A and B are shown apart, each in its own frame.
Chain A
Amino acid sequence: MIGFVPYFIKVPQVNEFANTLTNISSVVGQFTIVIAIYSQYRRSLRFIRERRKGWVYNIYLLTFMSLMILIGFTWGEHNATYMWLVNSIVAPCSSVVYGILAFYMFSAGARAFRARSLKASLLIVAGVIVLLYQAPLTGSYIPGLSPYATFLTETVGMSLNRMFAIAIITGAIMLNVRMLTGRELAFLGFAREEES
């Protein structure tokens, strides 16, 4: 909780100390990856030993990963081979997983936008108006659409956003209160250490 006080109190030293604490906590977090990797290795090795389905892939995973870490550590992050691997695997894959969202949005929309009830109908009406406006062709040929769509996205959307912002913060702070008093998570065998 030390991090929270200085935002209100004008003592520069405390503020700086809070920043340092934040940095420390990030560093601690980064150290923890070792355990995560350790558990991943252990899991994959168990897969391989027990010849569970997909064990070949786990061999591949381990070898490839170790190799890449090795390359990264020996020659540094700006090394050509390392960069090649990053550019040809991480870059396209992250784009795919992100870009695939278009499909998911698409099917979710096509599935959920059915006029089952008044609520769903409202969803459809708003959705279709905005979609028509956003499609560049209709957007430029039916100018009458623009005020409605702008109204929907900016005014109605903003209203929802404001409500969300106001409502969520009380919930979030209350959660903190519950944690600090040891109610939340306490029953999980995670005693009252949060006050640190």
Chain B
Amino acid sequence: MEQWAFLSQIFQIFIAFCLFTTLYGKGNPLRSWAEYSYLAAGTAMSVMWAWTYIRNHAVIGLQAGELIWIPAIILGLMMWFRIYPKYSYISRIPIAFTIGIGMAWTIRTQIFTQFISQISATIVPLFDQGPMWLFERTVIAVGIITMMSFFLYTMEIKGPHLWSATFGEYFMYLAFGAVFAGTFMGRLGLFVGHMQSYMFPVWKQPYTIGIALLVFVVMLALERTGWGAKLSA
């Protein structure tokens, strides 16, 4: 099995760099190959997940005598009628059912964790924890109020509202800048971590660099000769 593990490592590096050629912005066969492999594997995996899910819940549940799964399976099978356009209306029932459940689930959790707790977390004693606290909490409150005023659609923005909305908009961009930087850090960390898995242990380094160069050169060559666009999907 040793060589299989080794082969897997090398294959991983290769397919990864093939997919990295997406950055070049043009089609080439290496990229298409990687994309279609990933698509195939991803789809196969989702089929397996779906099957495992059904098995773990419905099938095992049925075997344990939980009859509640029978309607689940029936509804699930009703979806299959979509294959025949003539009977596709049957599938409306499970769709409607699921939308209802999904929407309900959304409201019931969001109204609390978001709406109420956020409002009540903003209402805090301001004066008892030093000037920095006062400043920060005031900024938060003012920020929320002004930004929210920017998002009032049905009122004409004029007078003091205009001031507040303009300030809110600027405030929002300030926040966007900060958040963007934070996001960049996250993504960079991700990429660095990913590259680390190809660079360590140290024996991988020559392979990684070699494959990276190879893919890069092949990509450029394909691009120059015009074969890249022809052969890609």
Contact B148 A166 (CB under 8 A): yes
* Min distance, Cβ A93 to any Cβ of chain B, angstroms: 4
Could you say which of B23, B52, B184, B192 has the most chain A C-beta atoms within 10 Å of its C-beta?
A: B184
Contact B143 A172 (CB under 8 A): no
Partner of A88, one of B1, B15, B92: B15
Of residues 62 through 113 on chain A, the ones whose CB sits less than 8 Å from some CB of chain B are 62, 64-65, 68-69, 72-73, 77, 80, 82, 84-106, 109
| Total A residues in contact with B, Cβ cutoff 8 Å | 106
Q: Known: A89-B15, A89-B41, A122-B173. Contact between A105 and B47, CB under 8 A?
A: no
Contact A126 B170 (CB under 8 A): no
Of residues 23 through 82 on chain A, the ones whose CB sits less than 8 Å from some CB of chain B are 23-35, 37-38, 40, 53-54, 56-58, 60-62, 64-65, 68-69, 72-73, 77, 80, 82
Contact A25 B178 (CB under 8 A): no
Q: Known: A88-B12, A122-B170, A134-B185. Contact between A33 and B47, CB under 8 A?
A: yes
Is A141 an interface residue when CB atoms closer than 8 A count as contact? no
Of residues 161 through 196 on chain A, the ones whose CB sits less than 8 Å from some CB of chain B are 162-163, 165-170, 172-173, 176, 179, 190, 193-196
Could you say which of A64, A65, A73 has the most chain B C-beta atoms within 10 Å of its C-beta?
A: A65
Partner of A194, one of B48, B71, B99: B99
Of residues 128 through 179 on chain A, the ones whose CB sits less than 8 Å from some CB of chain B are 128-131, 134, 149, 151-153, 155-160, 162-163, 165-170, 172-173, 176, 179
Contact A166 B174 (CB under 8 A): no
The interface bits of chain B over 72-89 (1 if a CB of A lies within 8 angstroms of the residue's CB, else 0) are: 110111011011000000
Q: Which residues of B contact A64 (CB under 8 A)?
A: 36-37, 40-41, 44
Contact B38 A90 (CB under 8 A): yes
Contact A162 B44 (CB under 8 A): no
Q: Known: A21-B101, A38-B83, A86-B45. Contact between A159 and B139, CB under 8 A?
A: yes
Partner of A27, one of B34, B46, B53, B114: B53
Contact B182 A28 (CB under 8 A): no
Q: Which residues of A contact B109 (CB under 8 A)?
A: 7
- Report the bound CA distance from A122 to B183 in whole Å: 17
Contact B119 A166 (CB under 8 A): yes
Contact B114 A155 (CB under 8 A): no
Contact B233 A69 (CB under 8 A): no
Is A14 an interface residue when CB atoms closer than 8 A count as contact? no
Q: Which residues of B contact A99 (CB under 8 A)?
A: 187, 190-191, 193-195
Is A10 an interface residue when CB atoms closer than 8 A count as contact? no
Contact A84 B76 (CB under 8 A): no
Contact B140 A131 (CB under 8 A): no
- Report the bound CA distance from A120 to B170 in whole Å: 9
Could you say which of B38, B41, B96 has the most chain A C-beta atoms within 10 Å of its C-beta?
A: B41
* Min distance, Cβ B127 to any Cβ of chain A, angstroms: 17
- Report the bound CA distance from A31 to B188 in whole Å: 38
- Report the bound CA distance from A98 to B7 in whole Å: 23
Q: Known: A31-B80, A88-B11. Contact between A172 and B170, CB under 8 A?
A: no
Q: Which residues of B contact A194 (CB under 8 A)?
A: 96, 99-100, 103
* Min distance, Cβ A46 to any Cβ of chain B, angstroms: 15
Q: Which residues of B contact A104 (CB under 8 A)?
A: 187
Contact B40 A96 (CB under 8 A): no
Partner of B23, one of A20, A100, A170: A100
A-B contact pairs, 7 of them (CB 8 A): A27-B53, A31-B50, A54-B232, A62-B40, A90-B38, A103-B23, A153-B181
